[in-house]
Chains A and B, each alone.
Chain A
Amino acid sequence: EAGVAQSPRYKIIEKRQSVAFWCNPISGHATLYWYQQILGQGPKLLIQFQNNGVVDDSQLPKDRFSAERLKGVDSTLKIQPAKLEDSAVYLCASSTTVGGVSTDTQYFGPGTRLTVL
């Protein structure tokens, strides 16, 4: 079974530029998560999708971050414009559902390391 795929693995940009990350979850997983992991900290949930609907985006900085999952499969996370403090690893995870309810075991991709100069 293929795991969660993310690209790119590394990205370096200057502040005020835009950047986008892509995630393809495990086949059949209805729930998709984006996390931000700043160096030395635990991952922080940015947004959670179930199929193509948003379940939780309470910690997403909506003035500069956006995410979509239009067809309920792969997803894109965008930052526009980037700030220095956005330097972090962006992790994507997915989980399956049972009876329409998300199970709680999440499977993580390798992450995208973003450096903002």
Chain B
Amino acid sequence: AQSVTQLDSHVSVSEGTPVLLRCNYSSSYSPSLFWYVQHPNKGLQLLLKYTSAATLVKGINGFEAEFKKSETSFHLTKPSAHMSDAAEYFCVVTRNTGGFKTIFGAGTRLFVKA
């Protein structure tokens, strides 16, 4: 069985400060892990993905995530928040079972204060 837990439902940061959005997963198989962002009234956009190559994954808009197998974590970070980063972020786990099984986390709402 596989699951994904986003540890914070809301995160609030000031503009220019670091962002940390936490995600833990469980999977019986080697998973692929993703972070997607959803701006209000917009579709989901892929930020980055991990597929067992480098453990530190760089994505768009300055975001990156580190896969830590020992901690079963895939936390999303950004050194300096921008107002445009305010959105909902989803951690996603998939595995290929002859068709991908995709599970989304519940989401973390990021607020960025001026």
Contacts and interface: CB of A to CB of B under 8 A. Distances in A.
- Tell me, yes or no, whether A binds B: yes
Interface string A54-98: 011000000000000000000000000000000000010101000
A104 B99 contact: no
Contact of B44 (A40, A43, A101): A43
Given A43-B44, A43-B90, A102 B99 contact: yes
A28 B106 CA distance: 30
Given A91-B44, A104-B32, A44 B104 contact: yes
Given A41-B107, A43-B44, A91-B43, A106 B99 contact: no
B51 interface: yes
Contacts of A108: 36, 43-45
B43 A110 contact: yes
A104 B105 contact: no
A56 B101 contact: yes
A109 interface: yes
A110 B99 contact: no
Main secondary structure of the interface of B (DSSP, over half): strand
Nearest to A93: B44
Which secondary structure dominates chain A's binding surface?
strand
A105 B99 contact: no
Interface string B90-103: 10001010111111
Nearest to A4: B43
A55 B43 contact: no
Instruction: Sort chain A's interface into a size bin.
Output: 20 to 34
- B49, B98, B99, B101: which has the most chain A beta carbons within 10 Å? B99
Contacts of B42: 110
Contacts of B45: 108
A42 B104 contact: yes
A28 to B, nearest CB: 18
Contact of B100 (A42, A48, A110, A111): A48
Contact of B106 (A41, A91, A104, A111): A41
The 7 closest A-B pairs by CB, nearest first: A42-B104, A55-B99, A108-B44, A108-B43, A110-B43, A104-B32, A104-B94
